[in-house]
Structure 1
Amino acid sequence: MTDTALAPIGRDLKIMGLVGTAHAASHFFHLVLPPLFPILKDEFGVSYTELGLLPSLFFAASGFGQSVAGFLVDHYGARRILLIGLSILSLAVIGYAMVGAFWMLIPLSILAGLGNAVFHPADLSILTSKVSPGRLGRAYGTHAISGNLGWAAAPALMITLAHFADWRTAVIVAGCIGLAIVAAFLIWGRDLADERQLDESGGHPRGLPTLADVRLLFSATILSCFAYFTFLAAALIGVQTFGVTAMVAIYEVQIETATAALTAFLLGSASGILLGGIAADRTSRHDLIAMGGMIAAAIAFAGIGLGLPPTYLLIAALAVAGFLSGTTSPSRDMLVRKAAPKGASGRVFGFVYSGLDLGSAVMPLALGILMDNDRPDLIFLSVSGFLIVTAATVIEVRKRR
């Protein structure tokens, strides 16, 4: 398939739909436990700091595993690794329901994180190799939107199930949803199977770590992409974990209003991704889209942290901030695609996306300290600062491509 050829749209839509569903499941599982923290706190008699350790370990394990998963994707094929990872993640979540003490959640969170590690290298490798190049921007946009929808669905579903049944039933249902997606891939996703790519010079299977692989991943361009995702995750996790608490403190609104503002942020981001995917297919200056969106979102978050929007505009302000940041998502994936040599998309996407897990693992504990010291304004100001740094990394990526 050439860069200008387009496969039948039905085939591309099927690939986008299956991969997007898997990505939604990954993000859904990110927020399976956090909405249940008040219930778990009472049941196990632990503090919020101890509960916060669970997502930190989840993302630390995921970040460690992503680089390894990238090599496995290039060596064994993306579909196979994706299904193994989703199965591990789903079974670990079901395992949450079986624990009798808090400490048992710790190894299960680590196991779940290792299962989660496969998604970005596998998902994006499938999209890059299977979707028509002329539709890749929209494919990356669909992929990102699905993740946001997974985030948005988790809190409501988990709290509803816990309310009408109990938290153990809620996590079992969540895990079974993941296993159902595995079954869907086995039935309808057979054409996503990809053969191992061979090194053109020596005929050896790609994916086996070599010194050249290490040099590639630690090149200035790829490290700049890694930094982009690390600082972006630090910003996003700040909004998702402490945004509601910070808004309640700054604006003195009810928790329901603050939660609605967070939902508006996620839905605004999904809308921005949709527009950003169209824009990414119509321009070659993906760096300008990524930088412009991040800087504009940073300005919006700085205003929120300073308490500038009136309370009645708080929800709208978060929606705008989400929209601006969302427009950058497809373009950032296009930048990584351009930076990845042929046949190395799995390991490159795996490495740079592990930056998301690094930022997500470190920041909750750091931002918790700010909240404990009664500085909710610094939550959003920190988000703004991280977005500015994220935009700066794009300059380095563009300069070195």
Structure 2
Amino acid sequence: MRKDRAYGSLLFIIYGNMALYGFIQTMRGVIYPIIKSHYGVSYSEQGLLVFLIQAVMVFSCVVSGIFLSRAGFRKTIFLGFGVAALGMIFFRFAGAYWTAAGFILLIQLGLGFFEIGINGIGARTFTKNSALMMNLLHFFYGVGATFGPWFGGFAANNPALGWRNIYLVSLIPAGVMLALTAFLLPAGAGKSSEKAAVDSAGDSGGTSPEKKYSLRWAVSNRLVWRVAVCLGLVGVVEYGATNWSGLYLLDVFGEDPKTTGAAFVSVYFLLFTVSRLVSGFVTEKIGYLRSVFFGVAAAVIILVTGFALGRGGIWLLPVSGLFLGVAFPTILAMTIGFFGKGAQSAVSVIIVISFSLNGVIQFLIGLINRFIGEAWGYRSGVLFGIVLLVLLTRLRRGKEQGTVRSE
């Protein structure tokens, strides 16, 4: 009975904090167009900000991974929250665009530690039905991401709050969740045990898998790079709604980012969340690669149709989230089959490469908006989606022909 209660508390911490992460992170979909318009900056500067956010994500993934292995889950989560809270408080007082951007970067740095801590607990906890449980984990991210833009729009439209206080007010639910985490999460959670290290070495006849499947092995592995590029392109298409839809609606159709823009992102993540909830069952039946391919293909068709319809297609565009939600967790799940005992090292490198690629492309999208036309940044997601489909096709053919190797 005690074990069941402890496991239930742990699930509450994992899923609740992932929802909180999605809630805070996706407020950017409302804030981006507001600060761009308020400070009158160019698309190049906006693209540079999104690039820097991705760079901070890469940095925080690397540093927080090292910190987690030494300090455990509690300290990683609390440190991440503390850093993010500083940015959320001081964002209120930003007097210039790059000051506000600096505090957004600080928030992202903290969220990086926060995310690694929560995903780490999930990976350690979900030893049974891991694919289903990890999809549920990302489902709760979607739950938070659905309410984040809505709350941001509500705060920005409220005369008593305004857009400068969006992050400040969101500290209230964040503080409640942190207090519950402090109360329910065991103090020693996440620290590696000596027994686990001995057991791991025994699996390979005395040679540590950590040594055989090192980060150097992962960096030199061609399949790791192929999967990482696919995952990076998934991120580009997936987060087009967060990073560029608000600007697209404002600059092309004159829609208010605090109302239409916020509703757009919320609808996208609502459907995205539904996808995460049901996709775990679907992928187990039709296959991982096939699920990702058909999901991305359907999303590309929806985006093309929505863009072609102009204003009449605005509310068709967020339907793409219903099909994109399957991609990210399913590709991560594929790495277990591809790399076996080397999956942990492979995933670490894949995430760093994919985030780096995503950041470079986000900066490129900013340049596309500036030099080709303000309608084409968000629309460029179609091009990157097509490139992703080509790479997924090659990966699938290689798998079927036996030319995909993890060694």
TM-score, reference length from structure 2? 0.78
Residue matched to 1:271: 274
Distance 1:277 1:344, change over 3 A: closer
Structure 2: distance between partners of 1:83 and 1:34: 25
**One-letter identity of the residue aligned with 2:282:** A
1:323 Cα offset (Å): 1.1
Q: Is the CA contact 1:72–1:207 (under 8 Å) kept in the aligned structure 2?
A: no
Residue type of the partner of 1:56? F
Secondary structure of 2:197's aligned partner: coil
Match of 2:72 in 1: 77
Partner in structure 1 of residue 367 of structure 2: 369
Residue 149 of structure 2: aligned partner: 155
Are the aligned partners of 1:96 and 1:105 in contact in 2 as well (CA < 8 Å)?
A: yes
Q: What is the alpha-carbon distance in structure 2 between the residues aligned to residue 215 and residue 189 of structure 1?
A: 34
Q: How does 1:76-225 map to 2 (within 5 A)?
A: 76-134=71-129, 136-162=130-156, 163=158, 164-190=160-186, 193-196=189-192, 197-198=196-197, 200-201=200-201, 212-225=214-227
Residue type matched to 1:183 in 2?
A
In structure 1, what is the Cα distance between the partners aligned to 2:24 and 2:366? 22
**1:99 Cα deviation after fit:** 4.0
SS of aligned partner of 1:190: coil
Secondary structure of 1:91's partner?
helix
- CA 1:218–1:111: 2 relative to 1, 3 Å: farther
Query: In structure 2, what is the equivalent of residue 324 of structure 1?
Result: 323
Give the drift of 1:14.
Answer: 4.2
Quote the Cα distance in structure 2 between the aligned partners of 1:78 and 1:269.
Answer: 28
**1:43 positional shift:** 6.6
Aligned partner of residue 18 in structure 1, secondary structure: helix
Amino acid aligned to 1:274: L
Do the aligned residues in 1 keep the contact of 2:84 with 2:111 (CA within 8 Å)?
A: yes
Please point out which of 207, 232, 235 is paired with 1:233.
235
Larger mean CA deviation between 52-61 and 86-95 belongs to: 52-61
Q: Specify the SS of the correspondent of 2:309.
A: coil
Equivalent position of 1:335 in the other structure: 334
Cα distance per residue 1:339-362 (max 9 Å; x no partner): 4554863x5444323355335533
Aligned length: 387
- 1:275 Cα offset (Å): 1.1
CA displacement, residues 242-291 of structure 1 (integer Å, 9 cap, x when unaligned): 224445777x58555565444332221111111102234x4483122122
Give yes or no for contact 2:47–2:364 (8 Å, CA) kept in 1.
Answer: no
Matches within 5 A, 1:41-80: 49-50=44-45, 53-80=48-75
Q: Distance in 2 between matches of 1:358 and 1:53?
A: 13
Q: Is the 8 A contact 2:47 2:366 kept in 1?
A: no
- The separation in 2 between residues aligned to 1:208 and 1:73, in whole angstroms, is 16
Deviations 1:351-387 (A, max 9, x none): 3233553355334443233333564664455212322
Q: Percent identity?
A: 17
Aligned equivalents of 2:109 and 2:262: distance in 1?
29
1:19-62 Cα deviation digits (max 9, x unpaired): 23222333333344552456646776755654554443232111
Change (3 A) 1:324 1:230: same
Seen in structure 2, the aligned counterparts of structure 1 residues 22 and 101 have a Cα distance that, compared at 3 Å, is: same
- Alignment check: 8 A CA contact 1:138 1:277 kept: yes
Q: How far apart are the structure 1 equivalents of 2:105 and 2:77?
A: 18
Distance 1:151 1:288 in 2: 26
In structure 2, what is the Cα distance between the partners aligned to 1:140 and 1:321? 21
Classify 1:46/1:247 alpha carbon distance in 2 versus 1 (closer, same or farther; 3 Å): closer
Query: Relative to 1, partners in 2 of residues 1:348 and 1:174: Cα closer, same or farther, differing over 3 Å?
Result: farther
Q: Secondary structure at the match of 1:97?
A: helix
In the alignment, structure 1 residue 388 sits paired with structure 2 residue 386:
yes
Q: By how many angstroms is 1:185 displaced?
A: 1.3
Matched, 1:29 2:29: no
1:381 and 1:55 mapped to 2: Cα distance? 17
SS in 2 for 1:198: helix
How far is 1:66 from its partner? Answer: 1.1
Q: C-alpha separation between the residues in 1 aligned to 2:104 and 2:261?
A: 28
Question: 2:191 is paired with a residue of what secondary structure?
Answer: coil
After superposing the two structures, state which structure 1 stretch, 60-69 or 257-266, moved more. 257-266
Q: Deviations over 1:199-236 (max 9, x none)?
A: 6449x9x9999993222244223222321221112112
Kindly tell me: are residues 207 and 19 of structure 1, through their superposed partners in 2, closer, same or farther at Cα, counting changes over 3 Å? farther
Deviations 1:139-185 (A, max 9, x none): 22222222223333223323323422244433222234434322221
Deviation of residue 191 (structure 1)? 8.1
> CA 1:400–1:372 in structure 2 vs 1: closer, same or farther (change >3 Å)?
same
The 1:76/1:165 distance shift into structure 2, 3 A limit, reads: closer
Residues 362, 314 of structure 1: alpha-carbon distance in 2 compared, 3 angstrom cutoff: same
Q: Which residue of 1 aligns with 2:291?
A: 289
Residue type of the alignment partner of 1:400: R
Asked if the contact 1:54/1:105 (under 8 Å) is kept, the reply is no
CA contact (8 A) 2:56 2:105 kept: yes
1:3 aligned residue? none
Question: Hey, what's the Cα distance between the residues in 2 that align with 1:337 and 1:247?
Answer: 39
Cα shift at 1:115: 1.9
